[in-house]
Amino acid sequence: SDLSVFVKSSAYIIHVSGLMRFDARTGLVEEMEVDGWSWPTYLTNAGCVYVRELNRIYVLGGRGRFEEETNNRYMNKISYIELSDLKA
């Protein structure tokens, strides 16, 4: 299940295996690079919210796995994506 948040004219979409940014003005879709060490290679059933004052997307829970794991597990934590650090 994909998640999305809107920031100005862009939608950030957290999907099963990554993060995309859709620019509503230009129609451009980009796959965004997220820190691989702290971000799971597979994520589903999570919640998310954008906090404007911190310029972050917070990701709440979900099920997923990291690269070295073979089985999904409950992600019992709150993570965040620092939007100012993202690279296309």
Secondary structure (3-state) at 50: strand
The CA distances from residue 49 to 24, 52, 68, 69, in Å, are: 19, 10, 28, 27
Q: What is the pLDDT of residue 37?
A: 56
Confidence class of residue 1 from pLDDT cuts 50, 70 and 90?
A: low
What pTM value is reported for the model? 0.79
- Tokens 């650090």 sit at which residue? 85
Contact 2, 15 (CB under 8 A): yes
pLDDT tens-digit readout, 8-65:
889 999 887 678 999 999 999 998 887 655 678 888 888 999 999 999 999 899 888 8
Q: What is the pLDDT of residue 84?
A: 82
* Residue, of 86 and 45, whose pLDDT is higher: 45
